[in-house]
Amino acid sequence: MKRPNYLKTGDKIAIVASAKKIEDGQINGALKQIESWGLEVVLGSSIHRSDRQFAGTDEERIADLQKALDNPEIKAVIFARGGYGTARIIDQVDWNQFKKNPKWLCGFSDLTVLHSHVNRNLGIETLHSSMPIFFAEGAANKGSESLKKALFGQLEGLVWESHSLNRPGHTEAIIVGGNLAVLHSISGSNSEPEYSGKILFLEDLTEYLYHLDRTMMFMKRAGHLENLSGLVVGQFTEMMDNPIPFGKTVEEIILEAVSDYDYPVAFNAPIGHVENNQAVYSGRIGALIVSDEGARLDY
């Protein structure tokens, strides 16, 4: 995988919205925080646009992202928020200039399609990370601090506490993954990750438990889980159940889906729709170490 250059003080970064729209002034605090890192912020026109739930029409969002990708002065593109919409425009993006001049692409959730597409088709690392909407008021949190460290090349990895359902082990492989619902939605497309031999990380938000079970069964039946090198399970936030309970927790559902395989599994990683959303270098070789003392993902 090719690695974009890390940032330095004075670099320009662009903030664009490829999915859900941003309300007026909604991320002003986050912009000030990013500027406090010593970076010059260039706002894309999509930040001020609206078309139904989107940050402008598909054509407007494509043009805004394309402008940021093609500008050699822009050293990173941070996506303002997720929601839904990136998959609608991913196939219209011209990656020629980006391939010649790679830059960090930063975000998560709906941006899972972009990370997977760039990792697989261009062989370039991206940054699965917090976004301005998650530190919109301008107060630093663990997620924004992790994004900053990752951009400046100061991120050493993730360390988190043990979980009773963890499966111990040690493996090294390329890291892929992101939002489980998005991964499911891009299956069969040219943006789908190559799962075999990889460390897969997962997170999700506001899904019914039976939806999660259905998706994990799809992942298993499609062969996506069989030849993994390791599995990191992040935060599954605000999950829902029916009046007749499904009868298993998130962790139990996922562990059952991978019960036929013997690679290491680590639950409760600080990745997902929480303030403590730690950055992950998607597409990079990492080492997953799971023991009774806890888990870590090193680069």
Cα(132)–Cα(246) distance, rounded to whole angstroms? Answer: 35
pLDDT at 248: 98
- DSSP state letters, 113-129: HHHHHHHHHH-B-EEE-
pLDDT at 215: 98
Q: Which CATH architecture fits 157-298?
A: 3-Layer(bba) Sandwich (3.50)
Q: Which residues of 164-184 are buried (b: 16+ CB within 10 A; e: fewer)?
A: eebbebebebbbbbbbbbbbb
Tens of pLDDT along the chain (299 residues)?
999 999 999 999 999 999 999 999 999 999 999 999 999 999 999 999 999 999 999 999 999 999 999 999 999 999 999 999 999 999 999 999 999 999 999 999 999 999 999 999 999 999 999 999 999 999 999 999 999 999 999 999 999 999 999 999 999 999 999 999 999 999 999 999 999 999 999 999 999 999 999 999 999 999 999 999 999 999 999 999 999 999 999 999 999 999 999 999 999 999 999 999 999 999 999 999 999 999 999 99
DSSP-derived secondary structure letter, 26: T
pLDDT at 126: 98
CATH (one of 3.30.2090.10, 2.60.40.10, 3.30.365.10, 3.40.50.10740) for 12-151: 3.40.50.10740
What are the φ/ψ torsions at residue 124 (nearest 5 degrees)?
Answer: -125, 135
Task: Please tell me the pTM assigned to this model.
Answer: 0.97
Of 141, 94, 134, 127, the C-alpha closest to 7 is 127
Helix, strand, or coil here: 200? strand
E strands, the chain, in order: 12-16, 40-43, 74-79, 104-107, 126-128, 157-160, 169-179, 199-205, 230-237, 265-266, 280-282, 285-291, 294-298
| Three-point CA angle 31, 36, 42, nearest 5° | 40
DSSP-derived secondary structure letter, 284: S
Longest dimension (CA), the chain: 56
In the chain, domain spans? 12-151, 157-298
DSSP-derived secondary structure letter, 195: -
Helix, strand, or coil here: 43? strand
pLDDT at 203: 98
Length, in residues, of the chain: 299
pLDDT at 286: 98
pLDDT at 10: 98
> Which structure tokens are listed for 49?
């646009």
Half-sphere exposure of 48 (CA within 13 A, CB side): 4
